[in-house]
């Protein structure tokens, strides 16, 4: 203890003196080194870590049912909108003569529209809840198909409902295999909304009613209605223009019959359900 000093007093006794600042700092540094060394030795030699008996969590695999529920409630095209998966409903692909051309989905309002054409090939825009054809309504829309309500049952109509190509067995020629015969594609269908009908059939198959409210002339089917439907028209259509000329009443139809010449094209615009629908008729030769 060289830093502690005992000084003899005047009375012959000894007096204790405090160490200097340098001595105090030296002892504090020494104590700190000893404590740090003890902690290091404890960390190296201790058999159990300070966190106890800790083990990393194992990977949890989802079963098939949970994975199916997760994917049903996830829409990759609208990731910021929560999709609630309801009870599974059995729906079949419809056999109705309908073709789906386009879909617009509004995930925020839950609404949407679809472009659907019937057997006549005329494309129309339908909103959810509207009647696509008698007894068939548009019930819901999705990113690749729509749901149709028909007689209390649900039927699906997809954007692509093409049938699979039949398998053709290759023909063998000697030891070589001839390339499979591919059937030629079917002839192209006429343009959507275009009907090719004779002039006389058009004159007898389309009749004009009275002037419609808001302008135009009401169209009615004549005969058995086949010519009227084949031309892309529906009962109750209101004719509002012919070849770009506005039709406000029957007085504007004086030259309509003269435009039905063999080989001519007649472009009409009809008002149907509050919408203007173009109808093109090609008069056959």
Q: In terms of residue numbers, what domain contains 108? A: 92-158
- Stretch 48-76: mean pLDDT, rounded? 68
d(CA 137, CA 133): 7
The reported pLDDT for the residue numbered 218 is 87
Split at pLDDT 50, 70, 90, the class of 256 is: confident
Split at pLDDT 50, 70, 90, the class of 50 is: low
Tokens of residue 236, six digits = 């109750």
Split at pLDDT 50, 70, 90, the class of 53 is: low
The CATH number of the domain where 152 resides is what? 2.30.30.830
Confirm whether 18 is domain-assigned.
no
The CATH number of the domain where 244 resides is what? 2.30.42.10
d(CA 251, CA 235): 21
Work out how many domains the chain is built from and give that number: 2
Q: Which of 27-41, 98-112, 163-177 has the highest mean pLDDT?
A: 27-41
167-219 pLDDT per residue, tens: 555 554 445 555 555 555 444 434 333 446 777 787 788 888 888 888 888 88
Q: Which pairs count as long-range contacts for 70-75, CB under 8 Å and 24+ apart, including other chains?
A: 75/107, 75/143
Confirm whether 208 is domain-assigned.
yes
% pLDDT > 70, the chain: 68
Confirm whether 27 is domain-assigned.
no
Confirm whether 74 is domain-assigned.
no
Taking alpha carbons only, the member of 113, 117, 88 closest to residue 101 is 117
Confirm whether 142 is domain-assigned.
yes
């Amino acid at each position: 203890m060289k830093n502690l000093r005992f000084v003899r007093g005047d009375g012959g006794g000894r007096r204790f003196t405090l160490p200097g600042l340098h001595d105090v700092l030296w002892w504090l540094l020494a104590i700190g080194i000893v404590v740090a060394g003890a902690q290091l030795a404890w960390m190296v030699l201790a058999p159990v870590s300070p966190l106890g008996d800790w083990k990393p969590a194992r990977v949890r695999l989802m079963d098939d049912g949970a994975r199916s529920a997760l994917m049903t409630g996830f829409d990759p095209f609208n990731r910021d909108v929560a999709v609630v998966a309801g009870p599974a409903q059995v729906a079949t692909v419809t056999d109705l003569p309908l073709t789906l051309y386009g879909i617009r989905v509004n995930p925020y309002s839950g609404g949407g529209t679809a472009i659907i054409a019937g057997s006549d090939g005329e494309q129309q825009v339908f909103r959810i809840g509207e009647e696509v054809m008698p007894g068939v309504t548009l019930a819901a829309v999705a990113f690749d198909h729509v749901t149709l309500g028909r007689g209390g049952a649900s039927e699906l109509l997809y954007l692509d409902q093409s049938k699979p190509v039949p398998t053709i067995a290759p023909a063998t020629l000697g030891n070589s295999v001839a390339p499979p015969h591919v059937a030629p594609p079917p002839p192209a269908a006429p343009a959507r909304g275009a009907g090719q009908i004779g002039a006389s059939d058009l004159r007898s198959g389309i009749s004009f009613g009275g002037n419609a409210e808001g302008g135009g002339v009401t169209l009615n089917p004549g005969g058995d209605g086949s010519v009227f439907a084949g031309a892309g028209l529906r009962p109750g259509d209101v004719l509002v223009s012919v070849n770009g000329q506005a039709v406000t009443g029957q007085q504007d139809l004086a030259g309509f019959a003269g435009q039905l010449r063999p080989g001519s094209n007649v472009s009409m615009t009809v008002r149907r359900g509050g919408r203007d629908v173009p109808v093109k008729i090609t008069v056959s030769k």
